């Protein structure tokens, strides 16, 4: 059992809100399209398989999924999307990774740069902060769905590496290659998940207070709100008081 960034908890709660208003559909469709460039068969394409599972978890219609795959493979028009990763620092020096899928790179670069500068942060060069993160499977379960010992036993047997305490949720961490198996074990047990994705996890956290903490939350929320942003990751942590303030 290891620590957990408060921002991750905020992000996952926000993801649930996004799902209600349909914004998550747009992000998942872009992810399916990008993943399908490496092959439209999910059995031979782990990234596509993960994206399809995520889409099904938010009840995306099968027809939407099928069309997104066909756009990605070129069978249908409309698949011209660039995948870009921005790296930078927020107020207080916390690292930020921004994953973007856009059809207008210049517009998006300008928007992301403005979001950073407005909150006292700045964009960095490629490789400036990505070394602080590692690619892992992240599956989040609300604590009232299952007890700690029961969940830990279940996921470790399925191949998980660790479990983090997110306050009112558990975050199960696995190697990306074990994502499908761990998620399947959780679902087979009838346990509902808040989020299930393969993403970037910080190797270490940096704790911020006061204005820096509040500024980081504003920056991360502004980035999350952008239509072209697929995911935002940070090594930012703070107390509940600073995050909520």
Shared domain for 145 and 190, answered yes or no, is yes
Shared domain for 55 and 31, answered yes or no, is yes
Is 190 within a domain?
yes
Is 231 within a domain?
yes
β-pairing, 169-174 with 195-202?
unpaired
Is 66 within a domain?
yes
Is 219 within a domain?
yes
Q: Count how many domains the chain has.
A: 3
Question: Lowest mean pLDDT: which of 6-15, 93-102, 171-180?
Answer: 6-15
Task: Please identify which residue in the block is written with the tokens 């980035």.
Answer: 223
Which CA distances in Å does 97 have to 74, 130, 172, 207, 218? 29, 7, 21, 17, 15
CATH classification of the domain holding 18? 1.10.10.200
- pLDDT tens by residue, 15-40: 655 555 567 888 899 999 999 998 99
| Burial class of 62 by CB neighbour count within 10 A (0 to 12, 13 to 18, 19+) | exposed
Residue 199 token pair: 């993403």
Is 47 within a domain?
yes
Is 112 within a domain?
yes
Shared domain for 218 and 127, answered yes or no, is yes
- pLDDT tens by residue, 112-152: 999 999 988 999 999 999 999 999 999 999 888 888 899 99
Q: What's residue 240's pLDDT?
A: 52
Shared domain for 89 and 105, answered yes or no, is yes
Q: Is the pLDDT of residue 217 over 50?
A: yes
Shared domain for 38 and 64, answered yes or no, is yes
With bands split at pLDDT 50, 70 and 90, how would you rate the model's confidence at 227? confident
Shared domain for 137 and 227, answered yes or no, is no
Is 243 within a domain?
no
- pLDDT tens by residue, 196-207: 888 898 999 898
Shared domain for 198 and 143, answered yes or no, is yes
DSSP string spanning the chain? -B---HHHHHHHHHHHHHHHHTHHHHHHHHHHHHHGGG-S-GGG-HHHHHHHHHHHHTT--HHHHHHHHHHHHTSSS----EEEEEEEE-GGG-EEEEEEEES-HHHHHHHHHHHHHHTT-EE--TTSSGGGEEEEEEEEEEGGGS-HHHHHHHHHHHT--EEEE-SSEEEEEE-GGGHHHHHHHHHHTT---SEEEEEEEESS-EE--HHHHHHHHHHHHHHHHSTTEEEEEE-EE--HHHHH-
Shared domain for 23 and 69, answered yes or no, is yes
Is 44 within a domain?
yes
**Percentage of the chain exceeding pLDDT 70:** 88
Shared domain for 198 and 154, answered yes or no, is yes
The separation between CA 191 and the C-alpha centre of its own chain, rounded to angstroms, equals 20
Shared domain for 14 and 104, answered yes or no, is no
With bands split at pLDDT 50, 70 and 90, how would you rate the model's confidence at 56? confident
Shared domain for 219 and 121, answered yes or no, is yes
- For residues 220 and 7, the answer to whether their CB atoms sit within 8 Å is yes
How many whole angstroms separate alpha carbon 83 and alpha carbon 207?
Answer: 30
CATH classification of the domain holding 215? 3.30.70.980
- pLDDT tens by residue, 109-122: 999 999 999 988 99
Q: What's residue 21's pLDDT?
A: 54
For residue 220, the enclosing domain spans 82-131+205-238
- For residues 182 and 155, the answer to whether their CB atoms sit within 8 Å is yes
With bands split at pLDDT 50, 70 and 90, how would you rate the model's confidence at 107? very high
Shared domain for 111 and 226, answered yes or no, is yes
């Amino acid at each position: 059992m290891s620590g957990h960034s408060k921002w991750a908890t905020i992000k996952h709660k926000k993801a649930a809100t996004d799902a209600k208003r349909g914004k998550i559909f747009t992000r998942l469709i872009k992810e399916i399209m990008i993943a399908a460039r490496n092959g439209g068969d999910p059995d031979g394409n782990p990234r596509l398989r993960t994206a399809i599972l995520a889409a099904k978890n938010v009840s995306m219609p099968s027809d939407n999924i099928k069309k997104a795959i066909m756009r990605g493979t070129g069978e249908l028009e409309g698949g011209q999307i660039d995948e870009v990763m921005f790296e930078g620092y927020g107020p207080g020096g916390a690292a930020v990774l921004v994953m973007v899928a856009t059809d207008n790179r210049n517009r998006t670069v300008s928007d992301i740069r403005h979001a950073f500068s407005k909150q006292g942060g700045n964009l960095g060069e490629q490789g400036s902060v990505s070394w602080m993160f590692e690619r892992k499977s992240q599956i989040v379960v609300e604590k009232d769905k299952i007890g700690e010992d029961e969940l830990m036993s279940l996921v470790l047997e399925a191949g998980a590496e660790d479990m983090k305490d997110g306050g009112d949720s558990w975050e199960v961490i696995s190697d990306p290659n074990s994502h499908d198996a761990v998620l399947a074990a959780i679902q087979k047990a009838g346990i509902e998940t808040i989020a299930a994705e393969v993403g970037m996890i910080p190797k270490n956290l940096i704790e911020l207070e006061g204005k820096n903490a509040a500024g980081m939350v504003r920056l991360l929320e502004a980035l999350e709100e952008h239509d072209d942003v697929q995911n935002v990751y940070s090594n930012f942590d703070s107390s509940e008081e600073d995050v909520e303030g």
